[in-house]
Amino acid sequence: MKNSNCIALIVGVLSIFFFPVHHLWAEQDIITTIQESLPSIVTIATENTKLFQSPQTAAARDPRTGRVVVRKGLTTASYNRIGAGIILDTSGIIVTNAHTISKANRIMVILHDQTRIPAQPIKVISNYDLAYLQITPPFPLLPIILADSDAVQLRDEIVTVGNSELLKQTISGGHIIGIGTSASEKQSGIDATGLLQTSINLYKGDSGGPLLDKKGHLIGLMVAGQIKKDHSSFAIPSNKIKQYYAEIP
């Protein structure tokens, strides 16, 4: 009887050691919090169409003048680009990466419920790869809460939500592994975070996705175009997003 009690005690201790209940609860709480932020995340779909001169030509005689007229045909070519964006306010202002909408003839925003709405760029900051779009909301929108990115520290736990075809709406966790500052701002005496490096691996379509803290607040905007060989990725700090958002009339 004593042996069986001892075995039960050991098993109980081991189960707590390998499967700490509080840790499982904490992870579940984070996932629930992040899921509440999903309506603030949108997909950005762009189309770029150009006219090109066709190498094929056609010749015909003008019956009125008798002259030979050579007609050169035009053909169109287009390509599409997919990224993500974040709703900043209820009026329909959305932030995304500038490279996602670069040279686009048509920009569509796809909301959380799959409603598609045309968008217009209202501010682009190319050197920070930031672009602000305006849509006309069909219903009340849920803006993201912006955190103070200057308070972020190395090894902080962070979360992102995938927007690629393979990992769309997938919640992934990681850590802050690098914090950069702008050389020009340092010279001006401004001590502000210029770029965040994360351990999260991004894929095509993840550009403009959110970098969130454990409260589900935005601390950065992912830039999939700057993935390094070690699969780490970069994000534009939320305070930069705030700075340029405040300049929009």
Q: What angle do CA 16, 175, 224 make, to 5 degrees?
A: 135
**Locus of tokens 């340029």:** 244
**What is the torsional sign of CA 104, 106, 107, 112?**
negative
Q: Which of 40, 149, 207, 233 is catalytic?
A: 207
Q: Which residues of 187-217 are buried (b: 16+ CB within 10 A; e: fewer)?
A: eeeeeebbbbbbbbbbbebbbbbbbbbeebb
Answer yes or no: 112 catalytic.
Answer: no
Q: Is 129 a catalytic residue?
A: yes
Which one from 40, 99, 164, 233 is the annotated catalytic residue?
Answer: 99
148 is catalytic: no
Q: Which residues have a catalytic role annotated? A: 99, 129, 207
